Amino acid sequence: MAKRRIAFYLMTVPALLLFFTFHTFPAIQGIFYAFTNWDGFSESYDFVGFKNFVNIFKDENVINSYVFTFKYAIVVTILINVLSLLIALGLNAKIKFKNFFRGVYFLPNILSVLIVGFIFNYLFSNVFTIWGAKLGSEFLSQNILGNADWAWIGIVIVAVWQGIAFNTILYLAGLQTIPRDLYEASNLDGAGKFREFISITFPLLASFFTINMVLAMKSGLMVFDQIIALTGGGPGRSTQSIALLIYTGGFQGGEFAYQSANAVIYFIVIIVISALQLKFLQKREMDM
């Protein structure tokens, strides 16, 4: 028994120490600096209380970043879940080469976000513009990433293309748990495919739908890599997300304490949104 306990501590204590050192302690430091005026470089700083938090709500640049981030996250969350559910239904049907297609649809998930972003950056800048010019379309012949009004659409396309893979796998896993007897009984009753989906498939996928919605929204709110690879936050600041603003302002703009306060606020926002999603969607599960 003593040997088992020693082995347990040898496996858990180092992991806990590493987690505390590289995750918990830096987070606590960030919260501490949020109440100071430290620029990230100076040796001294002063405590300013809640001044940084108050100024966050007065900063137009921060507000615009919040608007963009929420707009992006909502659109991406809806598109990813709708498309991944449709793909999962197709891959769960009786089709040839089912396992092959499942593997193909999962490939985007194992690719690096930055690599995918740089590839699509090249496609938007060079390939798609050439195709648009050959088709005689003025809109398609321009690089949408260089257009302040349309650049966010390009980021959405990339995020949805890559995000669908993981959600599709989760929906497929959920579809495997639905007993085939239910579909056979519905066929005997003369129910169509749409009625089967409304009355059987979707209600029994409720828990998987909840997980996918929460994860997709969280990922959308924390968008960073796609923007770095595609637009860098431009043109201007039209695609600047909160995560990108915190990074550039805190580590490059001498606003470490100010952006630390922004990070604390945004952390609370993400927790609140996730909690509300879980409460609402789990309530819907119970009503089904």
94-136 pLDDT, tens digit per residue, is: 777 777 777 777 788 788 888 899 999 999 988 888 888 888 8
288 pLDDT exceeds 70?
Answer: no
Give the CATH H-level superfamily of domain 73-287: MetI-like (1.10.3720.10)
Contact at 8 Å (CB) between 249 and 259? yes
Q: What is the pLDDT of residue 155?
A: 95
Backbone angles phi, psi at 36, to 5 degrees: -125, -175
pLDDT of 285 over the 80 cut: no
Q: Quick check: 287 pLDDT over 70?
A: no
Enter the pTM of the model: 0.89
Three-class HEC string of 20-44: HHHHHHHHHHHHHHCCECCCCCCCC
Instruction: Give yes or no for a contact between 225 and 117, defined as CB atoms under 8 angstroms apart.
Output: yes
What are the tokens at 226? 């796609």
- pLDDT score, position 105: 75
